[in-house]
Amino acid sequence: MISKEPIPLDAVAATPVLAGLNGAALALLEREGLYHHFRADEVVVREGEPGHSLYILVEGEVEVIKNLESEHAVPLAVLHARTFFGEMCVIDPVPRAATVYAITPVKAIEIKAATLHHLATQMPEQFSIVILNIARDMARRLRKLDEAYAAKT
């Protein structure tokens, strides 16, 4: 459910993916972002569906699962407040790569690709910070998956 309450700017600013952004950039994200509430066991995004946004977790936990609706479901991660997901659809506009569902009640901020485009055109140096932070986190996640895969072989 999309909330009518204002996005908590302190939660946005405290998220590592947005670390280093100035007040004007944070204000743009606050203005254009959507604040969602999800119940426990509710699907936030579904693998294979179109996606054009990333989500920042403000409260709660989600699980990221590949092939959720098959007998070969693979849990990839459990994410907590101050983390994000959905970034691959913002970088490369293809269908969602995994399903994310709420383990607990969740509050999350949705940042659409269009909002990041506004940031890029209005404040390119601030956009660069976000993209670099996303790249760092993606590298960290890939490294973790590589280590888990290597440990199984």
Q: pLDDT band at residue 152, thresholds of 50, 70 and 90? A: confident
Is the pLDDT at 77 greater than 80? The verdict is yes
| Domain count within the chain | 1
Question: How many other CB atoms sit within 10 Å of the CB of residue 31?
Answer: 11
Q: Please measure the distance between the N-terminal and C-terminal CA atoms of the chain and give it in whole angstroms.
A: 42
CA-CA-CA-CA dihedral for 75, 110, 113, 19, to nearest 10: -90
Assess if residue 13 is contained within a domain.
yes
Average pLDDT score over residue span 141-149? 85
List pLDDT tens digits, range 90-144. Answer: 888 889 999 999 999 999 999 999 999 999 999 999 999 999 999 999 899 889 8
Q: pLDDT band at residue 67, thresholds of 50, 70 and 90? A: very high
pLDDT of residue 5: 74
* Containing structural domain, residue 79: 9-152
Assess if residue 145 is contained within a domain.
yes
Is the pLDDT at 78 greater than 90? The verdict is yes
Assess if residue 3 is contained within a domain.
no
Question: How many other CB atoms sit within 10 Å of the CB of residue 35?
Answer: 19
Assess if residue 2 is contained within a domain.
no
Is the pLDDT at 4 greater than 70? The verdict is no
Assess if residue 1 is contained within a domain.
no
How far apart are alpha carbons 66 and 98 in whole angstroms?
A: 5
Q: Is the pTM of this model over 0.85?
A: yes
Question: Average per-residue pLDDT in the chain?
Answer: 91
pLDDT of residue 110: 94
pLDDT of residue 99: 97
List pLDDT tens digits, range 11-59. Answer: 777 888 999 999 999 999 989 999 999 999 999 999 999 999 999 999 9
Strands of the 34-38 sheet, one edge to the other: 34-38, 106-112, 53-59, 84-85
Whether the CB-CB separation of 112 and 89 falls below 8 Å is answered with no
How far apart are alpha carbons 32 and 101 in whole angstroms?
A: 23
* CATH assignment of the domain containing 35: 2.60.120.10
